[in-house]
Structure 1
């Protein structure tokens, strides 16, 4: 059931033939082409939102080998994990809701799925990542469905030089991996990039081993104003499931597996084809077209029952952009349409379900320079969705469900001087119910309404050669939030209590503060603090806090370079106390707050780089997920990882 190693060997074989190529370093593009969805409005200073960029150099100095280690505590991200893969939450969503309210992208391609499963990020090697962009806050106009709490966009490398790298990793829990990439010129206009990665681990808990592999091939054409690319990405992910523990089992031995389901596992294979083209047309207009097709097959055992899942997803987008002269600068106009056509099939001994979902969207955004240093933004999006659903139990003859939603945006961005800026933004957001949710509603309820929300935020930033400081305050209000309610009436023929419902109104308001001080040319210290107050504002739980949302999170970190080739990184990440996931009545005892202390020591010389990272130095025992039914999932104990990379 594991990935055939011969596939990865084929992908990496060319690397061994490239040792004579000229050594080259991949450069980091500091602009933000994808988060802003614009080639003109593409820097942090231009975007009236709370945006964080984690550069390739920051990734290297952190020593992190996976996204969980890299993102925990950054930009207000809270992480939960049922020992099946991380789920990232922005702006105060529970572990069960985060995967549907935080949009995850790779190079602008949406990873969020039709069902409630979280995007699979385990097969992605950080060595293939150029940077990570995090937009903390609503992005309904630019991205539509599920961009409620924020957007995490992972940008992979697209080098136009010649070179490559080989790397290996080993460490705790019998973890090992190897990776490599090669890139170069076919001729003056055409470039290629080939990368492969394999990572295997027994992981912290028993019966939780994972094997993740990926192969990526990409060709690019760049000539004048014309840009074209085509890529194929193959992913193979196998994972054993340790299952939930009781509180007593967790306290006794957090590494043990649930003995009730000793054979549970999942094996997922995905192939993604993606292409895009951009060029200037009609003078000062740029046209950008993109299409992708993904096919995913999953087999496994869950609660001792065999199951299979199949997903086919077709996506297409067309975008026009123009910069038109105005009195105080350039008016930027962005217009776009996109569509998706997804087929999802799920079959097990308990469920027989399939759904075809079609969405069509149109959006526009204009940035207008009111003054030389003041820009106003206005935009809107409309999306319609059609679900054709069949469920053997609840909709045996099939059911068609149609919905639509819209979002508006108004924003101001003021450059006070070359060091400071102020911004304010109002943005609406929405998300549509997923196939699992539409198929399990209370008796008499046919289809859930779209979840809608309003976000208001304001921010200030200051940056000079010694200090960078940022402040953001926000309020997010949702209505018809889509949640599972264990006390709701079950559907006719339902196999367990409760149902998916449009919940009572909720609100979240918070503050994000961050700063970094460059003490000397070789030393820096920084800190982040994030506060979110989320509660129900209507219904039986009015005034109660949202579950599995820690009001207080943050981190303190620092870097020190010494002896010309060495660098030391240390951070301490804080997660405050919170209610168990699903405890919306706040009737159960809160989980304790905890700190995690992590360090990394890196060495760089010529073409070699080595890094030793230790996570959770104190071997703190903490739960990465706990629900109101008493199911505990263990966070990792102390973990040491050594990685070595060679660039050529």
Structure 2
């Protein structure tokens, strides 16, 4: 893996260090547990990272946080991160290719097709979002390495910065605590083959390691959609005295044929056909992260992450070759600690985030190169005002420096703040109120494709208000959140705007003000000792407030979603599971004036069975049990509308052995 890190820009000056340690900006944490299975609370001792950016026993802080544990993932029989996220409330999944990996994106809080740049996706705190319009690669995450999935619903701009306007998803990978070797092999629909292997060991001298590999081969359900994929992950840990080191290395190779979109007539004639039989996209990704944690004393820790990701994607679109290269490097030092007070622990996080990104792409119209850098100083403080009251407050100051070969250079700053309060009404009931400000910087390639009269796009900014309730009623755990998100200068591609190629040829623009408001309800029920049920319901009203599209709904946002899952432990060795998710009707992407027919709503059911016999386990799963025919993505307006049909019924069986 090449090393491409601008160390000269990452050296922290004494003034910055003084600010980090002595003058923390007062910032918010954000947490309210809402796990899908109450029994999973015991796993990992309630440890979570997403609320404070350091491992803590999950505190009760004002925000909606959901944690999905390894045993819940195993029980569902899910084979990919997309399959796990698809049944969780408050998230809308779009899969333009249909293989549950590349081409899939996550939207939250009514952002629709803009969700890829407004939901922050992390792996152990390492950012997967790109400095461009390209969405994070969900295919780069192998579930065999995942310990838990932490989801912060709602804005988190103060704590996480750019692109955290709608929410944050942090994938926590495993660190060895025992010696184990695991081998798996499976077959499935469309000539799918999957092979996995892992070995891990924790040694007595503080040294540990984990090696894991995954290989997937599949034709997939559409023509010209063959895939050849592998993922190799290595983790090395060392704990010596008060210092803990962790090194993660990952290599992903994903060679994928691209079937393209279909017209309505093509879709109705044959949903599996391809409109682009020569298109493909081969992606090579190398990533590394070095994490350091030093215990200064019993209550204070100094942490730092140094990470880098190199992506190289090349292929052909409509028989025209393309290539896209990007390198993202980040340095994230931070101080985390607590102070005992009369009413509980005061929690503090303060730190500095710096990210350097370079990219170069060529889609046949000439090479475009750009680089950008963000420098952020932030802090977070949680204060127990009384035995049952917590207040959180904080802020972030962010700077963007960007330039590209179109000579539109950017040097801009902004500041966001947040404030939250929560009260533990009883041992089983709690309410919280939170106000957070979010933002998204325009990417360099967005600024490179604007109207001739626009020098550069404005940063997108938002204000989020949330009111939530957590309750426990014997076997029922319930979380309900109502929210309102006011958005200004949303960055958006308008295909009909006056652009670089002339009037009506399309350009990136700042939209007029818009509002997202709604509520989410989720819960889980323990039914006797062998049944477990989780459920969710989400409603969102996303509309433009002013301008040409005033009072129109945001395209590709389903107003209503509902779903749930039921598991039955038939015996100590056999678990059966079924889940379902309803997604309501939506306007097609690009239909900003809501003048065309909507995409219809649909309901999809999945089922799985897991058999554990000593060291042997067998997993069978069926996706789209009812063979529902629906479109996961659609854009344009008739007669120029286009469709990406979702896969029908698919099955997979995996057999594994652990030693």
Compare 143-152 and 225-234 and name the one that shifted more. Answer: 225-234
* Structure-2 separation of matches of 1:587 and 1:108: 42
Runs of 4+ in 1 over 6 A off after TM superposition: none
Deviation string 1:297-318 (CA, Å, 9 cap, x unpaired) is: 1111112111111112211011
Tell me the residue number matched to 2:580. Answer: 572
Aligned partner (choices 67, 78, 84) of residue 81 of structure 2: 67
Structure 1 residues 229 and 286: alpha-carbon distance in aligned structure 2, compared to 1, 3 A threshold: same
Match of 1:635 among 646, 649, 654: 646
What is the aligned partner in structure 2 of residue 177 from structure 1?
194
Residue 39 of structure 1 and its aligned partner are, at CA, apart by 4.1
Q: Distance in 2 between matches of 1:119 and 1:101?
A: 11
- 1:287 and 1:319 in contact (8 A); partners too: yes
1:284 to partner: Cα distance: 3.9
Matches within 5 A, 1:154-165: 154-165=171-182
TM-score by length of 2: 0.90
Residue 38 (structure 1) shift: 4.3
Three-state SS of the structure 1 residue aligned to 2:408 is strand
Q: Distance in 1 between matches of 2:45 and 2:96?
A: 35
From 123, 145, 153, the equivalent of 1:128 is 145
Q: 1:294 aligns with which of 304, 309, 322?
A: 309
Shift of residue 358, structure 1, vs aligned partner = 0.7
The answer as to 2:291 corresponding to 1:276 is yes
The CA distance in 1 between the partners of 2:391 and 2:103, in whole Å, is 40
1:525 equivalent in alignment to 2:525: no
For 1:286-435, list aligned pairs within 5 A. 286-390=301-405, 395=406, 398-435=407-444
DSSP-derived class of the 1:426 partner: strand
Which residue is 1:19 aligned to? none
Q: Aligned partners of 1:294 and 1:571: how far apart in 2?
A: 35
- SS state at 2:83 partner: helix
Deviations 1:281-339 (A, max 9, x none): 27743100110122221111112111111112211011012212222122111110010
**Aligned: 1:584 with 2:601:** no
Aligned counterpart, 1:82 = 96
Q: Are residues 1:563 and 2:571 paired?
A: yes
The residue matched to 2:286 in structure 1 has which SS? strand
Displacement of 1:478: 0.5
Residue deviations 1:117-150 (CA, integer Å, cap 9, x gap): 1111224321221111111110101110000111
What SS is found at the alignment partner of 2:527?
coil
Distance in 2 (CA, whole Å) between partners of 1:85 and 1:358 is 26
Q: 2:247 aligns with which of 219, 223, 230?
A: 230
Which residue number corresponds to residue 7 of structure 2? none
Specify the SS of the correspondent of 1:142.
helix
Work out whether residues 53 and 125 of structure 2, in 8 Å CA contact, stay in contact via their aligned partners in 1. no
Task: Look up the match of 1:497.
Answer: 505
Deviation at 1:404, TM superposition (A): 2.0
**Residue aligning to 1:611:** 619
Measured after TM superposition, the shift of residue 169 of structure 1 is 2.1
Instruction: For structure 2, list consecutive stretches of 5 or more residues without a partner in the other structure.
Output: 1-41
2:455 to 446, 451, 472: 446
Q: Does the C-alpha gap of structure 1 residues 47 and 353 become closer, same or farther in structure 2, counting only changes over 3 Å?
A: same
2:167 matches 1:150: yes
Can you give the 5+ residue segments of structure 1 that lack an aligned partner in the other structure? Answer: 1-26
Residue 495 of structure 1 and its aligned partner are, at CA, apart by 10
Q: Distance in 1 between matches of 2:513 and 2:419?
A: 23
Cα 1:298–1:226 change in 2 (3 A) is: same
Deviation at 1:417, TM superposition (A): 2.3
Q: Which residue of 1 aligns with 2:546?
A: 538
2-structure distance, mates of 1:517, 1:246: 44
Contact 1:452 1:478 in 2 (8 A): yes
Deviation at 1:107, TM superposition (A): 1.0
Q: Given the superposition, is the C-alpha separation of residues 48 and 224 from structure 1 closer, same or farther in structure 2, using an over 3 Å criterion?
A: farther
Q: Which secondary structure does the structure 1 equivalent of 2:44 belong to? A: coil
SS in 2 for 1:249: helix
- CA distance in 2: counterparts of 1:581 and 1:289, whole angstroms: 40
Task: Flag the 1:595–1:282 CA change in 2: closer, same or farther, 3 A.
Answer: closer
TM-fit CA distance, 1:41: 4.9
Q: Give the Cα–Cα distance (whole angstroms) in 1 for the partners of residues 199 and 169 of structure 2.
A: 26
Q: Decide which of 52, 63, 72 is 1:37's aligned counterpart.
A: 52
Deviations along 1:52-87, whole A, 9 cap, x unmatched? 111111101101101221111303110112215210
- Note closer, same or farther for the CA distance 1:438–1:38 as it changes in structure 2 (3 Å cut): closer
Q: Number of residues paired by the alignment?
A: 611
Shift of 1:557: 2.1
Inter-partner Cα distance in structure 1 for 2:355 and 2:512: 30
Q: Which residue of 1 aligns with 2:655?
A: 644
- Per the TM alignment, residue 186 of structure 1 is displaced from its structure 2 partner at its CA by 4.2
Contact 1:75 1:136 in 2 (8 A): no
Contact 1:123 1:199 in 2 (8 A): no
Query: How far is the alpha carbon of 1:526 from its aligned partner?
Result: 2.9
Q: Is the 8 A contact 1:215 1:235 kept in 2?
A: yes
Partner of 2:478, secondary structure, is strand
Q: Distance in 2 between matches of 1:404 and 1:474?
A: 27
CA deviation string 1:175-225 (max 9, x = no partner)? 111011111134421111111111121111110112221111111112443
CA distance in 2, matches of 1:610, 1:282: 46
Instruction: Note the C-alpha offset of 1:160.
Output: 2.2
Alignment RMSD, CA only?
Answer: 1.7
State the secondary structure of the residue aligned to 1:596.
strand
Looking at structure 2, the residues matched to 364 and 342 of structure 1 have their Cα atoms a distance apart, in angstroms, of 24
Shift of 1:47: 2.9
Q: CA deviation at 1:458?
A: 1.1
TM-score normalised according to structure 1 size: 0.92
Q: Is the 8 A contact 1:271 1:296 kept in 2?
A: yes
Q: Distance in 1 between matches of 2:190 and 2:122?
A: 29
